[in-house]
Structures are given as C-alpha cells and as structure tokens.
Copies of this chain bind each other. A is one copy, B any other.
Amino acid sequence: MTMNNAGGRRKPPTIHDVAREAGVSRGTVSRVLNGGHYVSPTAQEAVNAAIRRTGYVVNRHARSLITGRSDSVGFLLTEPQERFFEDPNFNILLRGCTQALAAHDIPLLLMLAGTEDERRRIARYITAGHVDGVLLVSSHSGDPVAEELCAAGVPLVACGKPIGLGSKVSYVAADDRDGARDMVRHLLSLGRRRIGVVTGPLDTPGGVERLAGYREVLAEAGVDFDERLVVSGDYSRASGEAGAERLLAQAPDLDAVFVASDLMAQGVLAALRRAGLRVPDDIAVGGFDDSPAAVAATPALTTIRQPWDRISNEMVRVLLAQIGGEDTAAVILPTELVKREST
C-alpha cells in the first residue's frame, strides 16, 4: 500500500518515485513525459498509470535547468501604459495570448516597462534567458528595450509593425490600410464625396497606414485630395472631439468622417451633436477597431473590426515557431467592415 501523501502538504513525488512505482527507470519515465518515442506500449501504460496514482507533476525548474529553456514567455508592454490599459483591444490581445499559450502549457509573464529602471530590469531578466521569447506590444517607434532584445537575438514577435526596428523583426498586424480602404469605399458607396479623416498618431504604423488607405481609395475614385479634410489625433476621445471641431471649421460642407479609432469617433459624435448635425443623415461617421465603445456610442458606430483573436493566436504561433528555430516573417490579417447606425 503506497503512502499517498494525503494530509501533510509535503514533498511532491519526483520522477524517481514514478519510476519505482511503474517498475521502470527514470529514463523511461522521462521519455514518456517528452513525447513517448522509443517506449514500448507496455512501459508507456505502466508509467502513465504510475503518474496518475502518484499525482506526479514535472518539476519545471529542474527541467529548465538542464534544457536551458524556461518554457515560459513574456508579454512586454513598453512606453505609455495608460494608453494601452484603457484600450479594450489590449485586453483582448492579452487574454488571447494567454489562452493560446495555455494551450501549449506555457505560462505568460506580464512585464510592464514604464520607468527607465523597470526597462533595465526587464531587459536583463529577458536576456538572462528567464523567458524563451517575448510578445511585444509597443506601437511607438524606436523602443530601446525592443532594440536590445533584437540585438541579443531573443525571439520576439510584435503586435503591429514596429517602426525603427530592423526589418528582420517578425510581427503580426491587421491590414490597417485595407481596412481604411473598405471604410472609405463604403462611405463613397453611400454617395458621400466630402469625406474628412481624423487620423491616428502619425508616428505609428497604424496611423500612417489608415491614412494611406483613405488617400488611395479617394484617388481611385477620382476625388481630389483636400488637405483641409485631414486632421490628426492621438486615438484619445478628446482628440477626436477637437479634430471634428477643426474639420467643421475648415470644411463646413463635410458629409462624412472616417475616424481612425472608435474612441476618437465617440469624441467626433459628441462634437457633431453639439454642432447640431444629425448622424448619419447630415454626416456619416466611420470608426476603426470595433471596440466596446463602438456599440456604446449613440448612434452605434459603423467600424472596422480587427481580428484580435486571430492576431493573438498568430503572435503565439509565430513566436513558438521562432523559439523552435524557424525563420518567421510578418503576418498581415484581413479586417472586416461592421455596419451599424452611424453611416
């Protein structure tokens, strides 16, 4: 009768205990644990039974010590944390990545590099090999931590195209440009011709690409580009409000606005309401993101959905491939137009 350590929270069983229980050697147990190649069905069976009986769980520290892998990855958020932490997309991304990793039994370590101190600490932590790879969220350009990690050869996958990192870094992103094109085409199809745009920050790839899509479609449609129809924001609600006011002042004949984020679009709606304009009758408004803000807005926003669940899944897939030694490239995923009441 084996003493199942019922009761006193004591030493957990080791691979040795399992081996003894199953009547095989440590090596065989280890082989079963790692894929089960070169193990007879008999032994396999015996080991699995012994594992179940003893409640054995592998000691990851011991394993990591010898393999050199940590079997964990970091989720690194640098720069302006406030922006991200208030962004619902960030949540969805974080959740998606955590779950995708969980499916591989890989824990996610959350790393926030706000201050210079934290940056250094985290960079050391990562380069010391305490994680096998990094999922990077940092829309901003020229991130010093990211550069250091790249230089050190740490597997790294960014969310969105990182500016200013060598072009060799892998990333996963929604097709911002194509999403913008869809939205502007949609506005054109409604008969609108004086289409304004509130862009995102133009030092981020998302901001740049969405504006580019806007210009492309207008050019295709033979609509002249009018720079009075372009104002730039920073994705915040307030900047959307200010942007709409500027647009109305510069181009009173405006009949539609493409806003590069839902949050800004909320601000735009507020400004338009204040100006006495009806949406969508007088003026159509298109957002970007399909965040909760889009449904909460009155009227509910027509917007561009970014495939966040696919993005997180792809980020994890690409990162694991990279950790496995494969060469990986950028992944661009399609967006989707979600039609609601504001257009």
Interface residues of A (CB under 8 A from B): 9, 12, 57, 59-62, 64-65, 70, 72, 75, 81, 85-86, 88, 91-92, 94-95, 98-99, 102, 105, 107-112, 114, 118, 121, 124-125, 128-130, 152-153, 237, 266, 270, 292, 296, 298
Residues from chain B with Cβ under 8 Å of A102 in the complex: 112, 118, 121
- A285 CB, min distance to chain B CBs, angstroms: 17
- A107 CB, min distance to chain B CBs, angstroms: 5
If over half of A's interface residues share one DSSP class (helix, strand or loop), that class is named, otherwise mixed; here it is: helix
CB-nearest residue of chain B relative to A90? B91
Complex copy number for this chain:
2
B70 touches A61 (CB 8 A): yes
A152 touches B292 (CB 8 A): no
Docked complex Cα distance between A298 and B88 (Å):
21
17 A-B pairs within 8 Å (CB atoms) are namely A9-B152, A61-B64, A61-B65, A62-B65, A65-B65, A72-B109, A85-B92, A86-B91, A86-B292, A91-B91, A95-B112, A98-B112, A99-B114, A107-B109, A107-B111, A107-B130, A266-B296
Docked complex Cα distance between A128 and B61 (Å):
12
Residues from chain B with Cβ under 8 Å of A105 in the complex: 121
- A203 CB, min distance to chain B CBs, angstroms: 24
CB-nearest residue of chain B relative to A114? B99
Docked complex Cα distance between A75 and B109 (Å):
10
Docked complex Cα distance between A152 and B118 (Å):
34
- A25 CB, min distance to chain B CBs, angstroms: 21
Which of B75, B128, B292 interacts with A12 by CB under 8 Å?
Answer: B128
CB-nearest residue of chain B relative to A128? B57
Docked complex Cα distance between A57 and B128 (Å):
6
Contact (A110, B108) CB under 8 Å given A12-B129, A61-B64: yes
Which of B59, B99, B111, B237 interacts with A112 by CB under 8 Å?
Answer: B99
- A120 CB, min distance to chain B CBs, angstroms: 12
Residues from chain B with Cβ under 8 Å of A94 in the complex: 110
CB-nearest residue of chain B relative to A67? B61
CB-nearest residue of chain B relative to A124? B57
Residues from chain B with Cβ under 8 Å of A298 in the complex: 270
- A155 CB, min distance to chain B CBs, angstroms: 11
Contact (A109, B109) CB under 8 Å given A153-B9, A296-B237: yes
Docked complex Cα distance between A92 and B112 (Å):
12
Residues from chain B with Cβ under 8 Å of A81 in the complex: 95
Docked complex Cα distance between A85 and B298 (Å):
22
